[in-house]
Amino acid sequence: DQQVKQNSPSLSVQEGRISILNCDYTNSMFDYFLWYKKYPAEGPTFLISISSIKDKNEDGRFTVFLNKSAKHLSLHIVPSQPGDSAVYFCAAYRGPHSGSARQLTFGSGTQLTVLP
Residues 70-99 interacting with other proteins (rule: CB under 8 A): 89, 91, 93, 95
Of 9, 14, 29, nearest in space to 87 by CA: 9
**# residues contacting other proteins (CB under 8 A):** 27
Q: Do β-strands 103-106 and 86-94 pair in parallel, antiparallel, or remain unpaired?
A: antiparallel
State the nearest-atom distance from the C-beta of 58 to other proteins, in Å.
17
Pattern 18-47, other proteins, x by CB under 8 A: -------------xx-x-x----xxxxxx-
Residues 42-61 interacting with other proteins (rule: CB under 8 A): 42-46, 49
Count of CA atoms in the C-beta half-sphere (13 A) of 107? 30
What is the chain's alpha carbon radius of gyration, rounded to the nearest angstrom?
14
